[in-house]
């Protein structure tokens, strides 16, 4: 297994655009390997389970598998992706808090045995499987800093932890530890640190009561760097390591897991689009491009995100306030109502960096507009 950081070489995106049909998503494995290695180096005693939902494509699975990596799965389709890539099931955890019995059986048949639960009914679904499964109890950690709140829908109240652990034990089930997801795209490490410190106290109290856990899952939320205002991943990791070191020194035999999605997926893809129509209206240039919010820009709808577009070929011409709109017939399909662009022509290319997370994953075929083509740059 390689421990060196791969060199990230910038491709010539114009060459890609000229020889492939747009819209075009360029996958750069080196961007993923670089950050996965960074996670491993910054937090060496943590198993980082890539959250497949953020970018569920085979090449990413292969990249992380080849680094000896781990995976967070939520659905049977994600299991199928892992099976095709021959990922060892003991490198996987199932983190969907609500599963049908057939989903549990599907994961068990693949060999996955760690499952997240967060309520009594879900724990009940595992009755009789005591010797086959390890449960992870997801706890809610509300905060208003995250770009996407992941504690509104899932996670038990902190004060309910003990009763749920007791319920599981009364059914002969093993609770391996707790998990949380403090929210996606965190602007600082503060809430992660609070959550880890809270878990540290809880585990110390439970140890006194005779309950010893074998794992702690700190979830995802590690930020991507969409703009220079976003905290750098290395800084973020160095800060949460302070709390993790305290936990690790108290519980050296406890395996710590994480579930990063966005920080690996976002830089993995770059989108190239082409202008297919233009007009001038109410003092603004309008450009219609071949991808939109029903496609690769779906993060605008589902991920509370505003991606930016820039000319692929840099120019020093004057910039004008412009509207960039997608190809469907819906007025919601506007990517940027105030893009500052030079005057562009039909056939010109636009580029969007850092679009890998929760974009392609939630793209649709609305209006039968074809989804973007995917090509890989480099090994
Ligand atoms: C259970 C779970 N784990 C991990 C992730 C990945 O989170 P992020 O992309 O913020 O790292 C998500 C995102 O929805 C999630 O629901």
Query: Best of 140, 150, 187, 304 to mutate for ligand 1, by most ligand atoms within 8 A of CB?
Result: 150
Residue 191 CA to residue 211 CA, distance in Å, equals: 26
* pLDDT tens digit sequence for 284-324: 999 999 999 999 999 999 999 999 999 999 989 999 999 99
Instruction: Tell me 369's DSSP state.
Output: P
Local confidence band at 117 (pLDDT 50, 70, 90 cut-offs)? very high
Residue 251 CA to residue 241 CA, distance in Å, equals: 14
The ligand 1 atom at the shortest distance from the C-alpha of residue 96 is: 1
Question: Residues with Cβ within 6 A of ligand 1?
Answer: 51, 53-54, 72, 95, 150, 181, 184, 219-222, 259-262
Q: Which residues pair with 272 in a beta bridge?
A: 24, 351
Q: What is the DSSP string of 198-213?
A: HHHHHHHHHHHTT---
Residue in the structure block whose two tokens are 């680094």 = 67
The ligand 1 atom at the shortest distance from the C-alpha of residue 222 is: 11
**What average pLDDT does the chain have?**
95
Give 347 Cα–ligand 1 centroid separation in angstroms: 37
Question: Per the residue annotation, which of 92, 148, 161, 329 is the catalytic one?
Answer: 329
Provide the pLDDT for residue 1: 43
- The verdict on whether 92 is a catalytic residue reads no
Question: Cβ(34)–Cβ(10) under 8 Å?
Answer: no
Give 307 Cα–ligand 1 centroid separation in angstroms: 20
* pLDDT tens digit sequence for 60-80: 999 999 999 999 999 999 999
Local confidence band at 163 (pLDDT 50, 70, 90 cut-offs)? very high
Provide the pLDDT for residue 7: 63
Provide the pLDDT for residue 6: 57
Q: Which two tokens stand for residue 361?
A: 């994953």
Question: Cβ(171)–Cβ(127) under 8 Å?
Answer: yes
Burial tier of 106 (Cβ tally within 10 Å: 0-12, 13-18, 19+): middle
Give 293 Cα–ligand 1 centroid separation in angstroms: 21
Give 75 Cα–ligand 1 centroid separation in angstroms: 13
Residue 282 CA to residue 274 CA, distance in Å, equals: 23
Report all structural domains of the chain as residue ranges with CATH numbers, in order of start.
29-266 (3.20.20.10), 267-376 (2.40.37.10)
User: Is residue 246's pLDDT more than 60?
Assistant: yes
Question: Residue 329 contacts by C-beta under 8 Å, 6 or more apart in sequence?
Answer: 367
* pLDDT tens digit sequence for 317-341: 999 999 999 999 999 999 999 999 9
Instruction: Tell me 75's DSSP state.
Output: S
């Amino acid at each position: 297994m390689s421990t060196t950081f791969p060199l990230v070489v910038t491709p010539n995106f114009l060459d890609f655009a000229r020889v492939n049909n747009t819209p075009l998503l360029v996958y750069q494995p080196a961007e993923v390997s670089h950050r996965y290695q960074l996670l491993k180096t910054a937090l060496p005693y943590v198993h980082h389970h890539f959250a497949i939902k953020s970018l569920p494509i085979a090449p990413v699975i292969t990249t992380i598998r080849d680094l000896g990596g781990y995976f967070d799965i939520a659905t049977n389709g994600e299991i199928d992706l892992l099976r095709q890539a021959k990922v060892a099931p003991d490198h996987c955890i199932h983190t969907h808090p609500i599963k049908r019995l057939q989903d549990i059986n599907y994961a068990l048949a693949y060999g996955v045995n760690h499952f997240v639960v967060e309520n009594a009914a879900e724990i009940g679904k595992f009755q009789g499987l005591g010797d086959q499964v390890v449960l992870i109890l997801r706890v809610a950690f509300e905060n208003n800093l995250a770009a996407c709140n992941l504690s509104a829908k899932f996670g038990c109240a902190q004060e309910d932890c003990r009763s749920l652990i007791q319920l599981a034990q009364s059914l002969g089930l093993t609770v391996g530890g707790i998990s949380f997801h403090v929210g996606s795209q965190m602007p600082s490490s503060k809430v992660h640190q609070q959550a880890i410190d809270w878990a540290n106290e809880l585990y110390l109290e439970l140890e006194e009561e005779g309950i010893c856990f074998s794992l702690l899952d700190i979830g995802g939320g590690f930020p991507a760097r969409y703009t220079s205002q976003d905290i750098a991943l290395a800084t973020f990791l160095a800060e949460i390591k302070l709390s993790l070191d305290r936990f690790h020194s108290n519980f050296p035999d406890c395996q710590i897991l994480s579930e990063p999605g966005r920080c690996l997926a976002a830089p993995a893809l770059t989108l190239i689009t082409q202008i297919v129509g233009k007009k001038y209206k109410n003092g603004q240039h309008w450009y219609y491009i071949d991808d939109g919010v029903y496609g690769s820009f779906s993060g605008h709808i589902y991920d509370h995100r505003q991606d930016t577009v820039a000319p692929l070929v840099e120019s020093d011409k004057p910039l004008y306030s412009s509207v960039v709109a997608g190809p469907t017939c819906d007025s919601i399909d506007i990517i940027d109502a105030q893009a500052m662009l030079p005057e562009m022509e039909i056939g010109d290319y636009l580029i969007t960096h850092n679009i890998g997370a929760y974009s392609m994953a939630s793209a649709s075929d609305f209006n039968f507009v074809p989804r973007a083509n995917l090509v890989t740059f480099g090994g």
